[in-house]
Structure 1
Amino acid sequence: MGLSFLLDTGVTKPILFNFLNVSDSLKIKHTDTIYLRGLGEGEQIMAHRSINNVFKIGDAVKLNQDLYAIYDANLNLAPKLGVPVHGIIGFDLLKDLVVEVNYSKQFLRLTNPEEYRYKTCRKCEEFNLEFYNNKPYMNAVVDLHEKSIPVKLLIDSGGSDALWLFEDDQRGILSGNHFFYDFLGHGLSGSVYGKRSKIDALHLKSFVLRLPNVAYPDSLFIVHAIKHRERSGSLSGNVLKRFNVVFDYSNAKVIFKRNEHFNEDFRYNKSGIELAHDGMRFVKEDKTKVISKGDTSNRDDKIIYFETESKLVLKPVYAVVELRENSPAAIAGVQINDIVLSVNGKPAHHFTLQKIMEMFYEDAGKHIRLKVERNGVDLAFNFVLKNPLE
């Protein structure tokens, strides 16, 4: 059975979102019940541990693979990402292969370490990896409050932010006064909130990223993440996408090569809205076609007959699931659970979830017109994108 997995260097064993009932099709059998804990302030998550499974990714085959099947529907990533995701895979895929993640061309290449040949690359930087609980860590330097501070960061390819830092008075890792409070993401144990800001620079050896976004998660949500005392935070997708990356766990190293995304600005959501896919609904679509033409010798007398056909088509529904307090959308009157019907005059179902969210990251001053449905009533809202750090 073909499934879609998120490659997440922050997890060890594959996790299957079993509320989708895929285990019945896969005929997996669990041997025992365990409890998992991750980011968030919620309770532990019950999972079934299944052993002796076979994973096949392209021509790569992994035998005797353990996996965890989770039944909690709140962990469904598909609505947040807007694409089907059946689970998460991490360390157990990476540890036996050389894994190339080409963010610019959007492909993944898996190679047997014995067959992989490194090419001379003057524009690359190689970093040593350290492992704690089978998770990869690398060293970097952040420029913060006129200080350069060495940091040890978890490489978290499953996270969408650029950089997370854990506040530490002794080391001078502090958010300061220039920040806004926001939803940071979903963990295994619930939602995570914290401060968002920027730092002066992130140094990855010779690569320097200026004014990257940074999030400082509230300590309440990361109690278990900071058990590794040397960890200073996480390096995630909005930094990783600026490189093509080679993970070589067997030799404990990772190689970064900058790509065309390297110099892109780091942007924030300037609307305050987080959307998620909220099922499907039937939408009436009209299609007009020519059914006949009446023609005479005089071109001015040509008559064209049209016919309009209507049909009901299933289209995606997008709902507001998070709303930043005092954001432009919140001030305008948008509320959580509102169903977005149109954006700037175009039906919402004409867009992908990612495309709508991209509009919310555009330049400050851009006008956004939303039509939403709330409790069966259509409402219209207008607001202007605003930089949350100003």
Structure 2
Amino acid sequence: MSRIGYSQNKFIIQNKKGTDKISFKLINNLIVIPIEVNGVELSFLLDTGVSKPIIFNFLNISDTLKIKNTERIFIRGLGTDEPVEAIRSSNNFFKIGDTFNLSQDLYAVYDLNLNFGPRLGVPIHGIIGFDLFKDLVVEINYSTKVIKLTEPEKYSYKSCRKCEQFNLEFHNNKPYVYAEVGLNDNRIPLKLLIDTGGSDSLWLFEDQSLGIVSGEKFFNDFLGHGLSGSVYGKRAKAQAFYLKSFKLKSPNVAYPDSLSIVYAKKVKNRNGSMSGNILKRFNIVIDYKGALLTLKKNKNFNEKFQYNKSGIELAHQGVRYVKEFQAVKRKFDTRYQNRVNSGTRIVFDGEYKMVLKPAYAIVELREGSPAKRAGLMKGDVVLAVNGNSIHHQPLQEIIGLFYGNAGKSIKLKVERDTKKLNFSFKLENLLE
């Protein structure tokens, strides 16, 4: 299938130019955009891997959003758990900058535990994909972190000698592209889902008959969290990844456990997914109506592919009280104490206050990893990394330390059952 059908409910750009720009946040290779739903400002992941918009933490925000016209359904995603319960709601108002849809369907999930925000360190209220892409040409500039939306009839392609263009195929309203991977000295053709909602580089489905195998250098790891639970599998490296003339050297590859991808493999000839750590190396034009993908290298193209060498996955887990020193400026009159040098002196005093700060806990810990061998445990709340309190650092900045070079020392101070404990270990490279 090469093209897609359209419904009457559409995203329309409400200005004369028929185009609009929206700034986004790039967090762990994922695109987070502001969207107004029924008058409430929320943050959504832009995910080509989903059909209808999904809203999380439904029970917390349903009254505010005034969700109506509902029916109960079950939806399934990656993972080995059962499908999740949700409601389907119609006639919702969505607004993105100057772009709006007056009658948008959405799924609202009941499960309060299904929330990607804690692992990213910022609030994530939902996911949007197909319904936005089907109506507009979407340009994603990963360099400037700006998305440009254009109505298809007003979009014109410019000559670009340094670009590569690909035909898209669609299955279940999701886009697929053809590429090649270098594995075990073989160059293997692939059919891949374009997945802006995934933070990894490549996910490949192992297939001995096609030569898609991890080889001898790999380690077992937590790969991510889908709508239907956690996904585990192997992590390895490929020799190269090819998108026509573009060649990426030594990309990371994840091979998800077969039980987690039973439904994903039902798409005919699908070999895996191409995700954010590949896509961010290009500035992209996604044109669903024309069934075209255009790629142009950007400043991230030659960035080295790194991976977590600690074995630790952190997530935001509530808040905790922290004692902080705060300077207080006071005036002190010295005229009666010193008649020679009379005047008013400014004195900086200080006091300690208890303030609420985010707590970051270890939610996944790889077996045999340096962190595990050092004695760290799931549930440990991290207080400091390499002597620096974590309370003033974004979660992704802390996690970035675990992606450093092999041999780098990591010192963690954690709280476990009200006790303060110190641990140290060195990052290990398992793939070279």
Would you call these one fold, judging by a TM-score over 0.5? Answer: yes
How far 1:297 moved relative to its partner?
A: 10
Q: Deviations over 1:194-227 (max 9, x none)?
A: 0000011000011100000000101011000000
Residue 178 of structure 2 aligns with an amino acid whose one-letter code is N
SS in 1 for 2:210: coil
What SS does the corresponding residue of 1:80 show, helix, strand or coil? helix
1:277 offset after TM fit, Å? 0.5
Is the counterpart of residue 42 in structure 1 residue 81 in structure 2? Answer: yes
Secondary structure of the structure 2 residue equivalent to 1:170: helix
Establish whether residue 177 from structure 1 lines up as the match of residue 216 from structure 2.
Answer: yes
Distance in 2 of aligned mates of 1:297 and 1:388: 73
Measured after TM superposition, the shift of residue 313 of structure 1 is 2.1
Match of 1:130 in 2: 169
Say whether residues 1:381 and 2:420 are aligned partners: no
Which runs of structure 2 are paired with 1:60-79 in the superposition (5 Å)? Answer: 60-79=99-118
- Once the two structures are superposed, the pairs formed by residues 229-268 of structure 1 within 5 Å of their partners are 229-268=268-307
3-state secondary structure, aligned to 2:289:
helix
Name the structure 2 match of 1:343.
Answer: 385
Relative to structure 1, the CA distance from residue 216 to residue 131 in structure 2 (aligned partners, 3 Å threshold; closer, same or farther) is same
Matched letter for residue 97 of structure 1: L
Q: What residue in structure 2 maps to residue 314 of structure 1?
A: 356
Q: Secondary structure at the match of 2:364?
A: strand
Which position in structure 2 is the counterpart of 1:81? Answer: 120
Structure 2 matches for 1:1-390, cutoff 5 A?
Answer: 1-19=40-58, 21-292=60-331, 305-390=347-432
User: Which residue in 1 is equivalent to 2:19?
Assistant: none
TM-score normalized by the length of structure 1:
0.96
Unaligned segments of structure 2, at least 5 residues: 1-39
Letter in 2 for 1:61: F
Aligned equivalents of 2:430 and 2:163: distance in 1?
35
Question: Partner letter of residue 269 of structure 1?
Answer: N
Q: CA deviation at 1:268?
A: 1.0
Decide whether aligned partners of structure 1 residues 111 and 297 sit closer, same or farther in structure 2, where only a CA change above 3 A counts. farther
CA distance in structure 2 between the partners assigned to 1:298 and 1:384 by the alignment: 61
Residue 370 of structure 2 aligns with an amino acid whose one-letter code is P
Identical counterparts, % of pairs: 62
The C-alpha deviation readout for 1:324-366, integer Å capped at 9, x for no partner, is 1111111101100100011111111111100000000011111
Q: Per-residue CA shift, 1:83-121, capped at 9, x if unaligned?
A: 111000000110000111111111111111111222211
User: 137-146 vs 305-314, which deviates more?
Assistant: 305-314
Over 3 Å counting, the alpha-carbon distance change for 1:20 and 1:310 in structure 2 is: farther
- Note if contact 2:181-2:189 (Cα within 8 Å) is conserved in structure 1: yes
- Please give the alpha-carbon distance, in whole angstroms, between the structure 2 residues aligned to 1:298 and 1:215: 76
AA aligned to 1:226 is: K
Aligned equivalents of 2:45, 2:222: Cα separation in 1: 21
Q: What is the number of equivalent residue pairs in this alignment?
A: 388
Is contact 2:217–2:430 with CA below 8 Å preserved after alignment?
A: no
- CA distance in 2: counterparts of 1:298 and 1:237, whole angstroms: 69
SS in 2 for 1:73: coil
SS in 2 for 1:335: coil
In 2, Cα distance between equivalents of 1:22 and 1:120: 46
Q: In 2, distance between residues paired with 1:231 and 1:152?
A: 5
Q: Distance in 2 between matches of 1:233 and 1:113?
A: 29
Q: Out of 72-81 and 283-292, give the one that drifted further.
A: 283-292
Deviation at 1:279, TM superposition (A): 1.3
Q: Assess if the C-alpha contact under 8 Å between 1:9 and 1:135 holds in 2.
A: yes
Letter of the 1:345 counterpart: G
Distance 2:116 2:260 in 1: 19
- Give 1:290 deviation, angstroms: 4.8
- Matched residues in 2 for 1:133 and 1:305: separation? 68
3-state DSSP of counterpart to 1:114: helix
Instruction: Return the alpha-carbon distance in structure 2 between the equivalents of residues 157 and 202 of structure 1.
Output: 17
Contact 1:268 1:388 in 2 (8 A): no
CA distance in 1, matches of 2:367, 2:353: 40
C-alpha contact (below 8 Å) 1:268/1:387 kept by paired residues: no
What is the CA RMSD across the aligned residues, in angstroms? 1.7
Shift of 1:304: 7.3
Q: 1:283·1:315 contact (CA, 8 Å) conserved in 2? A: yes
Work out the CA distance in 2 between the residues paired with 1:61 and 1:290: 50
CA deviation profile, 1:283-335 (whole Å, cap 9, x unmatched)? 22112345347597999xx9874411222222111000001111111110110
Separation (CA, whole Å) in 1 of partners of 2:325 and 2:59:
34
Q: Measure how far apart 1:65 and its partner are.
A: 1.3
d(CA) in 2 for partners of 1:26 and 1:307?
47
Alignment-mate amino acid for residue 275 of structure 2:
S
TM-score by length of 2: 0.87
The unaligned stretches of length 5 or more in structure 1 are: none
How far, CA to CA, are the matches of 1:63 and 1:303 in structure 2? 63
